[in-house]
Structure 1
Amino acid sequence: SEVAGRMAVQIGAHLLEKNQGGKGVLLGGVPGVQAGKVTIIGGGIVGANAAKIALGMGAHVTIIDINPNRLRYLEEIFQGRLQTLISNGYNITRAVREADLLIGAVLIPGAKAP
């Protein structure tokens, strides 16, 4: 849902704070300090809304999805402000390692979440 995607980033940003036990990363960065990296696995409604909020906060955003048409659509609506990657083991491993915040937004109707 739209709300879940938006809340995921808000809650994740809060949990990244040092006083919450996080790494002390500010998603939007500050002058002289790189912005945080958000990786979103799943480019549907939840993932797109998470990306919208993360980009609004100034984060570097990567969305991973299995559907190349969906990735093209996301690049178009976000006007190239995020990175899109096709879902495969290499891309997932690399993006997860680099992420400050990882959001799982995959839905396969009738199946368990991966």
Structure 2
Amino acid sequence: MPDQLKLHAVDPEEAELEALDLPADRDRFILAYYEPFLAALEAGQEEPTRDEYEFGSFGPFQVSIGILAAVARRVRQARLGRMNRLYQDVAELLDTHLSEVRPTNRFADGTTVMDKW
């Protein structure tokens, strides 16, 4: 279909001719990773914070998207320019706020998706 975009990425061995080193910044990666979750929260209808998570709901679809409130706050600070230590701060927040035993809809990255189906 012409309206679909597909990407197939392979991490080649370093010795292969196709191997290419891309400059990566862990702080910028974390910002890029969480931006879609913040965008979803902002696009949805705000729900009360519960169990340390911020939620945005999409009523007609009976779906709520959530992110650990402490992570959301830290990523918002990064959006405003406070990028330094973002990766370390988010890793520490996840370690502090998440236990190894989580409900199936709570993910290790501090996000959640809930439905009412």
TM-score tier by shorter-chain length is under 0.3
If you compute each CA radius of gyration, which structure gives the higher value, 1 or 2?
2
Q: TM-score, normalised by structure 1?
A: 0.26
Q: TM-score, normalised by structure 2?
A: 0.26
Relative to its length, the structure with more helix (as a share) is 1
